A and B are shown apart, each in its own frame.
Chain A
Amino acid sequence: MKIDNSLPLEYSTEENRLKILGFWIFLGAEIMLFGTLFASYFTLVDRTAGGPTGAEIFEITPVLIETIVLLTSSFTIGLGIHAMRLGKQKAMMIFFGITLLLGLGFLSVEIYEFIHYVHIGAGLQTSAFTSILLTTLGTHGAHVTLGLFWGLFIMLQIKKRGLTPETANKSFIFSLYWHFLDVVWIFIFSFVYLKGMM
């Protein structure tokens, strides 16, 4: 394996560079995936069929908590990658740990939110609106859940193997994924919750 030391660790081998480009292309596909969900959401948002509307079920407090927690986690993973570039493995691990804890916090509030919706009669089967609402939120939530495990596995690997071109590459790609989930959430926050509450 040829290692190019003039580049950051995560870009230092040919394989690493391929993986980063491949992941960006994957994120392009993810944009289409969420784009399709948003388009379907806007199509179905007013089709409540006598069931609750967004304005009736959305509550600002849990949503704000979710937003702040997730945005902060995007900041901390950025710090983690910065620490990685400086070669500070311990600081990086701490920031990654905080990121995952914040992710877990986000997920807990979201699960609470889902239970609340079902409790007040806005379940998956209630109307086209609730179907697409819970599917869009659920797809994002499933991505966060997957990210928690993925991030944890990467931390375990760094603990075992240290910062190598391979683990640095995985961490960097994971950070791209995590930032992407944040961007998606910003759209959910603006166009699902805020627009729905107006």
Chain B
Amino acid sequence: MEFFDRFAVPHPSPAIYASMVAISLTALAVIAGLTHFKKWGYLWREWLTTVDHKRIGIMYLISALLMLFRGGVDAIMLRAQLATPDAKLLDAQHYNEIFTTHGVVMILFMAMPFIMALMNFVVPLQIGARDVAFPRLNALSFWLFFMGAMLFNISFVVGGSPDAGWTSYFPLAGNDFSTSVGTNYYMIAIQIAGIGTLMTGINFMTTILKMRAPGMTMMKMPMFTWSSLVANLIIVFAFPVLTVALAMGTMDRLFGTNFFTTDNGGMDMLWANLFWVWGHPEVYILILPAFGIYSEIISTFARRNLYGYKSMVYSMVVIAAYSFLVWAHHFFTMGQGALTNSIFSITTMAIAVPTGVKIFNWLFTLYKGKIEFTTPMLYAILFIPLFTLGGVTGVMLAMSAADYQYHNTMFLVAHFHNVIIPGVVFAMLAGLTYYWPKMFGFMLNEKIGKWTAWLLSIGFILAFMPMYITGLDGQARRMYTYSESTGFGPLNMVSFIGAAIMGIGFILIVYNIYYSTRYASRDISADPWDARTLEWATHTPVPEYNFAAVPQADSIEPLWDAKKKGHVLFKDKFEKIHMPNNSGMPFIIGCIFFAWGFSFVFGLWVPLIITTIGIFVTMALRSFEKDHGHYISVEKIEETETKLRGAK
């Protein structure tokens, strides 16, 4: 029995047992459903083995929405526990686990895949390419992310969740203070997903640099493509730092090394530094593509070209450079001295300048525009003031002397939610609504969509504005309860109500998807928003090969020119198109990585060695495999094109 003890949850509660039952039942229902409707073959052929960037994008999207609810349930539990003083809903350990998984899931397994979803679906279409540079690597990226996310998510029913915060600072995250396997899950699951993300970074940089349509020079790329290029550049340079930090943390916990320990020369602050050398660029990996989405949406619905295109590009490049120079502002109070703190204060405040440039560019794009208040535009309009507020509190936090008051209080929690929710989450929901017709061939309901946007905004304000006040009054973050005499009670109750309203907003998104799937008209044009860039120049649904003929792009807005100035998008006759073959290998490698990670978490050395060998064997097999893809013939293209044109 001793062997199996390690898989038990160290702090079981009825909620966890209920979750185990729910997970098992859901898994059984999915398996039964697939078998009953004979969909296993379909699932394997069309999805698990696909290398099509559009389908991979949709798989990222589904994962992101699932994780949004996983992280959202965590959030509601946290707010419910804090809603009243001395509440007994969660104990301290359970609370620690929940805020840890909430942070990791929301940043790495919700926001990241959401961005990957839009990047995957949109970027190749926006630059007029047939796929990404390395389609099979793209599938592998997805499966590594997915398996990493799954490994992280099973932690709360097998062995216990990580409980040292999403920052997982040592020595708290070391063996002495985090005795369960939870932090092993953290180290290894994020490692697996991180390798996938690094591959995506390489893949998309190559794609954007080399595969643009003829005529599309760097300074004619659509803004979302530019933001993706810069974000992927940051990925390539930031993620290896995380790889090393996580490897060292894993070795400290499992092999007894002394990187971050407090004896034998180890240095706990090394972890904090390495974590934030990755962690701060990471927030720009999230926000830059969000800025890109807003730029597309604002320009489309203000019916004007984007104001200050060049300054938008340069400000993003400057933000990317600065993002690597500010990491120490996350621990001003942790002893590096006045000079270092002053330097990092200044670099941090300096980031507000290029960000401010972008805000003004959006405002000038709106100025004198014929604004159309669609759901995506509503999110964008709500984003500007809310995000600016978050930016201003960011500058407050950047002042290192003042930070001694704010550090580790709810003020900080309010700040970063204030930039991430209106910044990233609203952008992703706006992007989801905006690109939904291109993905699925029908539009999401506008009325429900606008209700959602307003509920989320009001809920957001109610949930997070009170935290600024309680934070300044001294309410510490990550404390599972507080006494009534602190007077934090009423404002925390307001936060809980706000969180609940946001919860309703997120449920409305699912309802909207259900409602629109059932009732929305399938008879929509390929360009339902009257947009400006190439992704709207192909059919809906997008054919496998994206564009039958390679489009010609002579300006930033080739489709708008085609509509208004007589620019000819497609000059060429059809030619046979080379496409990559599907492959089961990425999924299989993903599965082996899952088994590898699980063995590693629990220190099961024999399975670990077997799966390690398995990973290298699959890589070797791939090396020897001959796969030159296949061609789609001209007749087949003409047939598809006629069919898609006829559908209009």
Q: Do the two shown chains form a genuine complex with each other?
A: yes
Contact of B257 among A18, A48, A125, A156 (CB under 8 A): A125
User: Does any Cβ of A come within 8 Å of B240's Cβ?
Assistant: yes
Q: Once the chains bind, are B210 and A157 in contact (CB under 8 Å)?
A: no
Q: Once the chains bind, are A29 and B239 in contact (CB under 8 Å)?
A: yes
CA distance A189 to B628 in the complex (A): 42
Given contacts A22-B134, A25-B202, A150-B623, contact A126 B274 (CB under 8 A): no
User: Does any Cβ of B come within 8 Å of A40's Cβ?
Assistant: yes
Q: Once the chains bind, are A128 and B266 in contact (CB under 8 Å)?
A: yes
User: Does any Cβ of B come within 8 Å of A26's Cβ?
Assistant: yes
Residues from chain A with Cβ under 8 Å of B258 in the complex = 49, 125-128, 131
A contacts with B: majority SS = helix
Residues from chain B with Cβ under 8 Å of A125 in the complex = 255-258, 264
Residues from chain A with Cβ under 8 Å of B240 in the complex = 29-30, 32-33, 35-36
* Residues of A4-50 whose CB lies within 8 A of B: 17-19, 21-22, 25-26, 28-30, 32-33, 35-37, 40, 43-44, 47-49
Q: Once the chains bind, are A18 and B134 in contact (CB under 8 Å)?
A: yes
* Residues of A94-150 whose CB lies within 8 A of B: 124-129, 131-132, 135, 149-150
CB distance from A184 to the nearest CB of B (A): 13
CA distance A40 to B272 in the complex (A): 12
Q: Once the chains bind, are B264 and A128 in contact (CB under 8 Å)?
A: yes
Residues from chain A with Cβ under 8 Å of B241 in the complex = 32-33, 36
Residues from chain A with Cβ under 8 Å of B236 in the complex = 25, 28-29, 32
Q: Once the chains bind, are B267 and A18 in contact (CB under 8 Å)?
A: no
Residues from chain B with Cβ under 8 Å of A153 in the complex = 620, 623-624
Contact of A22 among B202, B243, B255, B256 (CB under 8 A): B202
Residues from chain A with Cβ under 8 Å of B604 in the complex = none
CA distance A164 to B52 in the complex (A): 27
Q: Once the chains bind, are B264 and A127 in contact (CB under 8 Å)?
A: yes
CB distance from A17 to the nearest CB of B (A): 7
User: Does any Cβ of A come within 8 Å of B251's Cβ?
Assistant: yes
Q: Once the chains bind, are B620 and A149 in contact (CB under 8 Å)?
A: yes
CB distance from B581 to the nearest CB of A (A): 13
CB distance from A51 to the nearest CB of B (A): 8
Given contacts A1-B578, A36-B240, A131-B251, contact A29 B202 (CB under 8 A): yes
User: Does any Cβ of A come within 8 Å of B176's Cβ?
Assistant: no
User: Does any Cβ of A come within 8 Å of B639's Cβ?
Assistant: no
Candidate in B241, B244, B277, B628 with the most chain A CB atoms within 10 angstroms: B244
CB distance from B70 to the nearest CB of A (A): 29
> Is the interface on chain A under 10, 10 to 19, 20 to 34, or 35 or more residues?
35 or more
Residues from chain A with Cβ under 8 Å of B256 in the complex = 124-125
Q: Once the chains bind, are A131 and B259 in contact (CB under 8 Å)?
A: yes
User: Does any Cβ of A come within 8 Å of B209's Cβ?
Assistant: yes
Closest A residue, CB atoms, query B198 = A29
Q: Once the chains bind, are A25 and B270 in contact (CB under 8 Å)?
A: no
Q: Once the chains bind, are A126 and B264 in contact (CB under 8 Å)?
A: yes
Residues from chain B with Cβ under 8 Å of A149 in the complex = 616, 620
Q: Once the chains bind, are A132 and B259 in contact (CB under 8 Å)?
A: yes
Closest A residue, CB atoms, query B242 = A36
User: Does any Cβ of A come within 8 Å of B2's Cβ?
Assistant: no
User: Does any Cβ of A come within 8 Å of B315's Cβ?
Assistant: no
Interface string of B233-265 (1 = CB under 8 A from A): 000111111011101100100011111010111
User: Does any Cβ of A come within 8 Å of B67's Cβ?
Assistant: no
Q: Which A residues form the contact surface with B (CB < 8 A)?
A: 1, 17-19, 21-22, 25-26, 28-30, 32-33, 35-37, 40, 43-44, 47-49, 51, 124-129, 131-132, 135, 149-150, 153-154, 156-157, 170
Q: List 5 A-B contacts (CB under 8 A).
A: A26-B202, A32-B236, A40-B259, A49-B263, A51-B265
